[in-house]
Amino acid sequence: MCENLYGKKTVTVIQPYRMKQLNDNRFGTVAALQKIGVSSERLRYWEKAGIISPKYIKCGTRKFRRYSEEDINRAILIKMLVDEEGYSLEGAKRKLEKDNR
């Protein structure tokens, strides 16, 4: 419960974000995070580490990440290897590269 400016108690209801696929079969950041199950910081770190490579689109002066199904599936595999199998991030990356050959 929160009090508004008039002293009345109000309840704020947060609607769950709908996972919506974008027109070009790519997903926005929030939808990708929900599918993968990681934080935005972790996903950005994986991007900087070269594990996933989302496409960027420009809208005005802003740039937005767009994740393909391949990006999302790769991130899910990385998460599984790191969290459940005990691989380091670099070890998981090498394993995926080796398996894709």
Q: Is residue 77 part of a domain?
A: yes
* 68 CB burial (10 A radius; 0-12, 13-18, 19+): middle
* Region 73-91 average pLDDT: 94
Confidence of residue 99 (pLDDT cuts 50, 70, 90): confident
Residue 52 belongs to a domain with what CATH number? Answer: 1.10.1660.10
Residue 86 has pLDDT above 90, yes or no: yes
Q: Is residue 2 part of a domain?
A: no
Amino acid at 34: Q
Per-residue pLDDT tens digits for 33-56: 999 999 999 999 999 998 899 998
* The pLDDT of residue 19: 41
* The pLDDT of residue 90: 93
The answer for residues whose C-beta is within 8 angstroms of residue 50's C-beta and 6 or more apart is 93
Question: Which pairs with CB-CB distance under 8 Å and at least 24 residues apart come from 86-91?
Answer: 89/46, 89/49, 89/51, 90/49
Q: How many CB atoms lie within 10 A of CB 42?
A: 17
Range of the domain at 90: 22-99
pTM above 0.75, yes or no: no
| Number of folded domains that form the chain | 1
